[in-house]
A = this chain, B = another copy of it.
Amino acid sequence: MSSALSPSLDVVAVGNAIVDVLAHADDAFLEAHGMAKGVMTLIDADRAEAIYRAMGPGVECSGGSAANTAAVIAALGGRPAYVGKVRDDLLGAVFRHDIENAGVAFACKAAADGVSTARCLILVTRDAQRTMNTYLGACRELAEADIDADLVASAKVVYLEGYLWDEDNAKAAMRRASRIARAAGREVSLSLSDPFCVNRHRAEFQDLVRDEVDILFANEEEALALFESTDFEDALAAIRPHVKLAAITRGAKGCVVISGNATHTVAAQPVYDVVDTTGAGDAFAAGFLRAHTQGFGPEVCGRLGNMAAGRIITHFGARPERPMADLYVQATA
């Protein structure tokens, strides 16, 4: 069933609204604090305090996986909205400012009480890898009531971040968003977010992918984890029957897009000055969806995804520093 109205938005992204605190660190720091390099770990307020006290001088900027994706879609010239929960505190105001002024419609009321806006303490090592420690704070308040049916139905794609599965309220909100989108004839897109996140919620993610997801985003490790595949070809075969499109990112090797029986391997352009890989996957999804919502096929979608990710890793932080309209023009030429 298709909605009577043609969609006015490209993508509504739903995710954890987080302010990132980025600092450089060495491997010894990660080890001393028992951190697994390259992954996202949920932490409580006390551990957040302890890590912050120990880590180097930081740079604060808005983050959150799906929010980064929304910001990159806007930088690429698309029309995104974002739903995520902040507190009405100073960091919440920073988050709202940054997402709105990036050109994204921010469609979620701030919490008037309770814990503070979420923070992610990100340690960036010399190898440009990022190790993330997330204090969810106000994100835990995201609930079904925050999902506006008209908003979701007005977008071609609803994009859900897997990280939301860590909270029951948020999970209910995502299920509602998915229901609304499907009822309106829109597409549902899911990012698996993190291999540890997949391990925590494998059965539910499998059900989602089988029953609700049209477009799946994962990196290689997450794709393997989803159906506990032993090699990459197995993972593709396990995922293929369930979704219209799946884009599996492989770092410097680019991505593989599967679509029905077709498999498209899209090489990445080499990036010589990788500074910080924070947000690479988020930017990839943005590029992919920006092209997809304009009707481009898997090759172009993968190419723009690769290009957006390649741009974002040349600087510190996961949000675009400038408009990326040039990439859209280049990828779709």
Contact = CB atoms under 8 A, between A and B. Distances in A.
A171 interface: no
Given A57-B98, A60-B94, 10 more contacts: A57-B61, A57-B71, A57-B99, A57-B101, A58-B61, A59-B59, A59-B61, A59-B317, A89-B90, A316-B316
A58 B24 contact: no
A321 interface: yes
A147 to B, nearest CB: 25
Most chain B beta-carbon contacts within 10 A, residue among A55, A71, A90: A90
A94 B316 CA distance: 18
Contacts of A316: 315-316, 321
B91 A55 contact: no
Contacts of A62: 57
Interface residues of A, number: 27
Contacts of A33: none
A69 to B, nearest CB: 14
Interface in A101-120: 101-102
Interface in A50-89: 52-53, 55-62, 71, 89
A132 to B, nearest CB: 18
B24 A322 contact: yes
A53 B98 CA distance: 10
B317 A97 contact: no
A183 to B, nearest CB: 34
A58 B60 CA distance: 9
A56 B321 CA distance: 9
A97 B322 contact: no
Given A90-B90, A91-B90, A97 B321 contact: no
Interface string A304-333: 000000000001110101100000000000
Nearest to A315: B316
Nearest to A275: B315
Nearest to A99: B57
A332 to B, nearest CB: 25
Contacts of A102: 56-57
